[in-house]
Structures are given as structure tokens and as C-alpha cells.
Structure 1
Amino acid sequence: MNEETKLCHMDLGGDYDGDGVSRRTALATAGSLVGIGVAGCLGTGTNSVRVLSAGSLAQTFESHIGPAFEDETGISVHGEYYGANAVMRMVEDRTKQPDVIVSADSTLLRDRLYGEFTDWDVEFATNSLGIGYNPETAFGQDLEDGIPWYELALESDDGDLSIGDPDLDPLGYRAVQAFELAEAEHGLEGLQDELLERVYEEPEEPQMMAGVESGSRAASVVYHNMAVDHEMPFLEFPDAYNFANPELEAHYATVEFTTDEEGYTAEGRPILYNATVNDEADDPDAGHQLVQFLIDNPNLLVDAGLTVSESLPRPEGALPEVIDV
């Protein structure tokens, strides 16, 4: 049995698949086969719901939401995980036809999908931006000694610090925006340009974590839950540029990023995950059940390293009657 087939037959609710491959090993393999291994799993099985989600929630769905949802409903979750820009593009051009769509940027989903694929969503969790790092590297040791991250980043070798691809992923363009806000916050003229010349842009989100874990990269600008997923030390950025404080919405909006491919301009804004059911879903009922499950189980999201504030969940648009917020 090849690795793709192993992943597609993995029991999300247990510790091992039929060939004795551990869940952690299978998920790590999924990272190296993004768009191939996990992608091949969508649509398998008859009592399942298909999810197309931002890559930062891969472990959240595979290790937390998926098993618990299947235990409660008998419906398995089959997911694909990409940068949220790529997720929207796949829905728009119908490369993928998921039941549930999940974005790491609620405004992005509304801007791209409202009107043709959905007219509602529910915001269900937040996150914060910072640096996940390898404590065994010189960068990591200096960071733990209290040296500011931006000084280390400017002194490190090119590629020691990685970010997501800003043209594919909100995680990437938020890193670019954070560098601009940090430049103003710390009074360091030219910081953003210097950092962007040095960082490595990783197009496959799971590979960012793999690179840091192996030591081939010293650190990466990631979300808090991604560091939790990998049991990795995490330095949260200050509120001024971690995109976690809703009260700083106007401040975050002073920066923006325009993607090359679609020409989509994203203003800086608080991190908000939202979910909707595709109007073209094969199984909208299962999709509605999964969205309701996200609403009803904030404890699972918190266990996965996300934050569920008192203001969440929060609906937007013409919410279906079957969804209770």
C-alpha cells in the first residue's frame, strides 16, 4: 500500500491505521504530500463530510474536531488543507467541491465566495501571530535569552526565518504586514524590506513546521495553534502586530498586502476563522452538522491552541435555520 493510500484509509478516531502507521506519522507524511496525499482522501467513504480548510487548521481537524465529530455523529471528516487564498481559488474555479469551507481570514471568504457559493458564515475562533522556533538553534537560544526577535532576524543567515507564501496564504501576508507594523512599533526604518530580503517564503504550510523541527530553519512566523500542534516553543508578537486584539482593528488596518496572482488586497485585520457550507455541496446536511459542531464545542478548539473569545461564535449573512448560534 503506498503512502497516499495509507493516509486515505487512516482511521481519524484511532491511534493507528490498518498498516500500523501512527497518526502522528501519517499526519507528518500528509504534510510532505500536501495536495497529493490528503487531497486524495476527499470524497472517500459514503458517510462523510468533505472539508476544504486553511492549512493552519490541519491538525485541529485531523486530531481534535474530526475524531470527536465522528464519535458523536458517525460522520467522518475528510479534509484538504491549503493556504486560504488557494482554498478560495479552488472553490471559485471548481477544482474542488467541498461541503464545508473554512478560512483563516473571515473577510477573505466573504469577499471571494459570497454571492456565488454562499451567503453566510460563522466566525468560530481566533488566533495570534508570533514565532515558532527550535530551541536547539543559536537563534532559538538567543531568543530565550531575551534578545529581540527582529535583531536576531536581521543578524541571522538568509532563510533561517521562514514565512508563508503571502500570495497563497493569509499567514504569509500577515507576516509581511506584521513586519511593517513592527517597523513602526520599534522605530526601525527599513525593517520590513530587510526582513523580506532575508526570509524564506514557504509555499507549503506544513513544511514550515517540519523545517523548524529538523533545524534546517531556525524559526518561522506562525500561528499559536501551529506551535501547540508541534509542541514547539512560541514567542507571541506584541498586540501591536500579533493581529489578536479586536480593539486594535483600526491599527491593524493601517497596513495592507496585494497578492500577485488575483490582485486581491487584504487590509490588516484581527485573525478570525470562519466556516460556511458550500451552496454546491454534495452533502449540505452533514456540512451544517459540522459547522454546528464547531459552534457547540469551543473546548476542542481551545485544546488545539486556538482562542474562543466571549464574542464568538458570531454569524454573518443569511444564516440557515438549522444553524443555531
Structure 2
Amino acid sequence: MVLLWSLFSVQAQVGTPNRSDGVSTSLSGDLIIFHAGSLSVPMKEIAAAFTNENPGVNVMLEAAGSVECARKITELKKPCDIMASADYTIIDKLLIPKFADWNIRFASNEMAIVFTEKSRRSNEINQENWYQIMLDQNIQIGRADPNSDPCGYRAVLVSKLAEKYYKKSTLANQLLIKNKNNIRPKETDLIALLETGNVDYIFLYRSVAEQHHLNYILLPDEINLKNPAYFALYQSVSTEINGKTPNEKITQKGEPMVYGITIPKEAPNKLVATAFVKYLLTQDKGMEIMELLGQPSVVPSATESFDNIPEELKPFALEIKR
């Protein structure tokens, strides 16, 4: 019944019939998706479910840091049908208005300290002493590049929030200058370093840790960038990252973690892109997969670009009342 309902939904959208065996023939062609590394596991599963219903579609997934994904569109002019960012503000700041018209917020996450059983002092680490263990000169730590990946600048913001929370002067600087050789372009690149024992602890999203069956320490809500109730506290810290041009800098303030998705203006296959985004945002389809993999839904959420969202996708967003 669920399969039939989803097929009827797609049929209604594109207005063409399905085959008698219940498989859609109305959607076809390549669908190019640039997405955050932290979306690799859910995107793969959502794409598989979507193509099971739409076998004429060839989904091409390309994972990178969200900032890097945006720059592939803005600087390298690579064709892209959908961009899904680990930080919705990347779409707002780097793509809208020149390269995209709208942005839908769809999922949340939180920062954690991630490790394996092989990590040194893993039997000691807890929510109170994690930063002391990470500063041990015998311990190797890793993080993502702030200029490529939201997980990278969120590691910076978490370090600054930890300095406030634990009332430890210079804590952030101590964490951020340590083991800079272990900085990688995107957060999922760090997993290989962790699993091979080249690093002991990394700043990483909780969902990615769960998807890869890694150990992790949850951080207090005052630090983890998860809880909207601490919006003002999160906003009290910031860092600078590279902007739209080589000489431009963007000030990135802390705020609760929310993912965003859009279809670029020059998307080669907008029809299929719209159908895929609709599938992803539907509660008993894509969002059910997202939640099962540790990324709670925030659909529908308010967005400044509501008026520019395609009509069939407006039910998944809210208009900001002026």
C-alpha cells in the first residue's frame, strides 16, 4: 500500500501514467546530487528507495564538505540538480540569490567527541574530562577543515563554547592548534584516520558516529550546537571562513545545527530533482530514513525564501510572518 501511494504521488506530480506492474516510467535521466559527507549513508539509502520506484532515474551522488559543494556550483560551474548542505546557511550565503532561489531546512544533528576502543585513554574519557584527555600530548586529535566543511567550523565553535562552559581560559586555542596535520577536507575523511589508529579522537556529528558504529561522548547542550533554547549562547561565538571570492571572508556564528536543501537555478534535470526532493522530505519516505539514521526531521521549518519555493514543495516549509 505504501509503495502504491508513493507511486500515485509521483504520477500526480508529473501527470503521466505508470506501467501496469506499478513501477513509474514517468521520470528518467541522470540526477546529480552534491551533498555533505555526513549525509552519505542516508542519501545512499534514500536514492536506492527512490530509484526502486523510478528505475529510469540514475542518481549520481557526490559527497564533499558543504562549502566545497557550493563552490563546485559557484566557481567550477559543475552541473548539479540538488545540493544538500550540513548547514542551511551555506546555501543562503553562497548560493542565494545568484545560483539558487530557495532553501528548505530539513534535518538536525549535534556535535560529539568520537573515538574507538583502540583510542588511547578511551576507558577514562567522559563528559567532564574529554578536553583534558584531548590535550594530552600523547593523544592525537582530528577535525575537518573549516573552509571546506561545516563540521570543521563547528569544531571551532564547539571549542569556544567549551571554553565558556568549563571556564577554562585559552582552552579553545589549545584545542585548535593541536595536531593541525590531522585536519581533513570533510568530516567523513576523519573516520579512516580514527579506524586505523592514526588519531584517537575527532570532532564529528553524532549521526555519523552512529551510522559507522563508533563510540562517542555526548556534549552538554550548552556546547553541542543542538538545542534551539541556547541560540543566544551559540551566537556568542564565531569564526571566519572563506567567502564567495578568494579575498572574501564570512563570519560564521554559532547556531543550532540544521541541514538545508535546494535545487540550483541551472539544474539540468529539474523535474526529477523536484520529485526527489519531495520524496526526501516526505515523512514516511526520505525523512523516515533520515530519522532511523540519527538525523531528526525539522520539516516543516520557516524559511526566508518561502515565496520562491516550487508550489509542490511548499508544504514542506513555513512562511516567515513579517
* TM-score for the superposition, normalised by structure 1: 0.80
Shift >6 Å, 4+ stretches:
none
Superposed displacement of residue 147, structure 1: 6.0
Other structure's SS at 1:112 match: helix
* Cα separation, 1, equivalents of 2:143 and 2:265: 33
Alignment of 1:286-301 (within 5 A): 286-296=272-282, 297=285, 298-301=287-290
Task: Find out whether 1:322 has 2:312 as its counterpart.
Answer: yes
- 182-191 vs 247-256, greater mean Cα deviation: 247-256
Question: Which of the numbers 52, 66, 73 marks the counterpart of 2:47?
Answer: 66
Match of 2:165 in 1: 185
Alignment of 1:38-187 (within 5 A): 47-62=29-44, 64-74=45-55, 75-143=57-125, 148-157=129-138, 160-187=140-167
Letter in 2 for 1:79: L
Superposed displacement of residue 130, structure 1: 0.6
For structure 1, the 5+ residue unaligned runs are: 1-45
Alignment of 1:137-286 (within 5 A): 137-143=119-125, 148-157=129-138, 160-199=140-179, 200-260=182-242, 261=246, 262-286=248-272
Letter in 2 for 1:209: I
Q: Is the 8 A contact 1:69 1:76 kept in 2?
A: no
Q: Is the 8 A contact 2:151 2:186 kept in 1?
A: no
Match of 2:5 in 1: none
Identity %: 27
* Cα separation, 2, equivalents of 1:269 and 1:123: 14
Superposed displacement of residue 134, structure 1: 1.1
* TM-score for the superposition, normalised by structure 2: 0.81
Larger Rg: 2
For structure 2, the 5+ residue unaligned runs are: 1-27, 317-322
Deviations 1:94-141 (A, max 9, x none): 432200011111112111111112111211100000111012222322
Superposed displacement of residue 321, structure 1: 1.1
What's the Cα RMSD here? 1.8
* Cα separation, 2, equivalents of 1:244 and 1:189: 24
Letter in 1 for 2:54: T
Superposed displacement of residue 151, structure 1: 0.9
Match of 2:4 in 1: none
Letter in 1 for 2:297: V
Q: Is the 8 A contact 2:187 2:204 kept in 1?
A: no
Q: Is the 8 A contact 2:148 2:186 kept in 1?
A: no
Letter in 1 for 2:75: D
